[in-house]
Amino acid sequence: MAEWLKISDIMDISGIPETTLRRFFSRFSDFFTTKRDGNATVYLSDCLIVLQLIKEAREAGKNTKEIESILRGTVPQTVDMVAENPPHVGDSIQADSRLLHAMLVLVDQRRDIDRLESELSKRDMEIRELEIRLTKEIESVKESVRSTKNESLWEAFKRLWRKS
């Protein structure tokens, strides 16, 4: 069974100086399970394996990022989930109420987003229809210009006069 060790115990067992241990614990804190024991921090005894890996990697010339990469591939990371002050029942009800309110706001926002997406889709269709209409009008004007290129000024004047 794993036991909790003080830094002095770890120093005696591992032979790693205290300053080096503190540096390792600080730089690679995600890989050590810790808890507070009064004013001291104690470490789960499996830290000895992690410390040995770090020590060997350092001796092999690996830098901090390389060591972290090695640890991520071999050692599970720890996450501390300890509440310093456990919440009161009233706090829980208030938190639930705030959560419910936030969820209702999110539902309203989702409805707004859906409505806006629908409006945007309609506008896109209108724009496509206008583009098609404008393209047809432009082609019509181009055709009209082509047909009038060979027309004399007098013929063009008569044609325009008849239209009005």
In the chain, what are the domain boundaries? Answer: 4-74, 89-136
Mean per-residue pLDDT, 149-153: 73
Integer Cα distance of 43 and 32 in angstroms: 7
Question: Given this model, what pLDDT does residue 37 score?
Answer: 84
pLDDT class of 134 with cuts at 50, 70, 90: very high
Which pLDDT score, from 0 to 100, does residue 157 have? 78
Residues 43/26, Cβ–Cβ less than 8 Å: no
Kindly state the tokens that stand for 39.
């004013």
Comparing CA positions, the residue from 66, 26, 56, 60 lying closest to residue 43 is: 26
Beta-bridge partners for 35 = 42
Domain 4-74 has CATH 1.10.1660.10: yes
pLDDT by residue (tens digit) across 93-130?
777 788 888 888 888 888 888 899 989 989 999 999 99
What confidence category does residue 92 fall into, taking pLDDT thresholds of 50, 70 and 90? confident
- State the pLDDT at residue 81: 55
Q: Is the pLDDT of residue 20 over 90?
A: yes
